[in-house]
Chains A and B, each alone.
Chain A
């Protein structure tokens, strides 16, 4: 192995790992806000599929991946609005409404793709942006500072989310609404509004996570391009115990394993393909098993808010 594992390969694995962490990070940070406000959004996978298609389609026709990013944010917001209507206003059982949203997004992205695009079409996606000086640092430069803009965005969102959640009054309201909605309501916080906001912001980030897959990584769209990443992102929220830094750690563990796994295949190490592919899903279950369920969860998670009742 010494001959194979030279530093160029290690740099490649780590740089790819940072890049692959992006969709997990974006979607999981979004879901963190949603769950912190007391709502499960289990439709993240469907929103990601819609974001992936919207980003791809806008880039294909408008010629600019930045417009693709905007399209994915808008579509994400609309999906979030739909989920909020069903889960917050109509107080539907959130696990089931999430499945509905997932199937809706899955079907609609596939439908629109077949109607408007049809065959395999590639696009000019996001380019790497070298950060001056920093990208010249040996070893660290190519790993951290030669990535596309969504990678930087996702990494920057980690401290930013922490700041918003713990240091702003809006973040305080979000945490209050997720833990003690009745008390928050008594103090004049608009529970329904905060939950709408969190669902929409979280869904926008999920849409962006989907767009990363098409315009930041594959430069094309394919059926089921998300491959369960939306659900893994939800699992990462549990694993990261509803904190941005925990989510970053989980995302990196995952993406590094992913990167290593694909490198094993590239290097032609003999291992059945199907068994390599199941690794992330097995790791997700193990991660959920060792994160001990609901101990750190927001107290009102999954409970629709009804004024005048005690949860």
Chain B
């Protein structure tokens, strides 16, 4: 193997080890809860790949995870830890839905790009606020994005309960908090009839390639990564650090906003309560698992899409709460950030092996 492909191979092994480690600790909690972890994980892992429904529903969840994950890749690579994707998804969803329902007669060829633009821009503004606060006022972005999540959630609820509620919900007296259905001409087409898998998947995959080229093949992308690698050095090299911080957050928010727009046009056909569904956090896990690489995030988003679906199936089949998947994701994050230490310090593993097996082991491992 070339050294590059060997590096990739080692990374994959480490990531899988992180996932297995997280699952093992999760199994301990299941045993403590007097559940059978083999049965639970059996459903969780075979359910999503056993039939057409499982596979297509996995991919339905992959789309928002990938879009959010791409935004996370951009912001983390630029040195900004964005955990505001939940709020940015909501901003994108409500922006997209508001434009869509107010222009019911516009042809799809105009309306669909407009709706995506509205979703992307709404998310970009919501993310950009945190970027601006960091760049201009040195406000810690983790804290500001958490606060902006809470604010977005309440504003979103206010809008879908009040000004933007479906008039039918009011006239029928049912009062379900959701917007009116968006015009049918912009419902994303179904890739496989009879399933919910929609063309948003292709859009997300194309964006992943685009983000890769943007970050590694354009000078703006290069400067953003330089800011992430070391803001002081970047400033010394004449890069306007503040501007790129704002841009990174706006792009990250824009990606999450597009995820909201895709959920509206592809899945729900309106803005509903709980539309972000935790994708804002799971997208972080997918991006980290994809080693903060746009293309690596694709398989990671599929994997975590399957995990999210598998957790729902597990809840129905063996009555293990779907909250289990959040435990596993949290552990995966902890394992993945810890694994860097082992990748950088192979000698640590050698010592550990020597201690365990009482003999000297070749530190390099493999060829």
Inter-chain contacts of B155 with A (CB < 8 A) = 274, 278
Q: CA separation between A292 and B138, bound complex, in Å?
A: 6
Chain B interface category by residue count: 35 or more
Inter-chain contacts of B341 with A (CB < 8 A) = 90-92
Cβ–Cβ contact A90 & B338, under 8 A: yes
Contact of B146 among A228, A289, A293 (CB under 8 A): A228
Cβ–Cβ contact A95 & B142, under 8 A: yes
- Which single residue of chain A is at the shortest CB-CB distance from B147? A281
Residue-wise interface mask of A (88-111) relative to B, using a CB-CB cutoff of 8 A (1 in contact, 0 not): 001111011111111111111011
Query: B150 in the interface, Cβ–Cβ < 8 Å?
Result: yes
Cβ–Cβ contact A288 & B83, under 8 A: no
Inter-chain contacts of A289 with B (CB < 8 A) = 133, 137, 139
Cβ–Cβ contact B139 & A293, under 8 A: yes
Known contacts A95-B81, A105-B330: A285-B144 contact under CB 8 Å: yes
Residue among A93, A112, A231, A284 facing the most chain B CB atoms (10 A cut-off) = A231
Query: B29 in the interface, Cβ–Cβ < 8 Å?
Result: yes
Cβ–Cβ contact B29 & A93, under 8 A: no
Cβ–Cβ contact A108 & B29, under 8 A: yes
The B interface is mostly helix, strand or loop, or mixed, namely helix
Cβ–Cβ contact B81 & A288, under 8 A: no
Q: CA separation between A93 and B140, bound complex, in Å?
A: 15
Query: B143 in the interface, Cβ–Cβ < 8 Å?
Result: yes
Cβ–Cβ contact A96 & B333, under 8 A: yes
Query: A42 in the interface, Cβ–Cβ < 8 Å?
Result: yes
The A interface is mostly helix, strand or loop, or mixed, namely helix
Cβ–Cβ contact A111 & B323, under 8 A: yes
- Tell me the residues in window 310-329 of chain B with beta carbons closer than 8 Å to chain A beta carbons: 320-321, 323-329
Interface size on A, residues (CB 8 A): 50
Query: A62 in the interface, Cβ–Cβ < 8 Å?
Result: no
Query: B229 in the interface, Cβ–Cβ < 8 Å?
Result: no
Q: CA separation between A42 and B333, bound complex, in Å?
A: 13
Q: CA separation between A277 and B29, bound complex, in Å?
A: 35
Contact of A86 among B144, B148, B337 (CB under 8 A): B337
Contact of B337 among A96, A104, A105, A288 (CB under 8 A): A96
Q: CA separation between A95 and B150, bound complex, in Å?
A: 19
Q: CA separation between A42 and B146, bound complex, in Å?
A: 11
Q: CA separation between A275 and B329, bound complex, in Å?
A: 32
Inter-chain contacts of A3 with B (CB < 8 A) = none
Q: CA separation between A46 and B285, bound complex, in Å?
A: 16
Inter-chain contacts of B325 with A (CB < 8 A) = 107
Cβ–Cβ contact B33 & A107, under 8 A: no
Interface residues of A, Cβ cutoff 8 Å to B: 42, 46, 82, 85-86, 90-93, 95-108, 110-112, 114-116, 227-228, 231-232, 234-235, 238, 272, 274-275, 277-278, 281-282, 284-285, 288-289, 292-294
Q: Give me 13 other A-B pairs in contact (C-beta within 8 A), A105-B330, A108-B29, A293-B137 excluded.
A: A86-B338, A90-B341, A101-B334, A102-B330, A104-B330, A104-B331, A104-B334, A107-B326, A108-B323, A228-B150, A235-B140, A238-B140, A272-B162
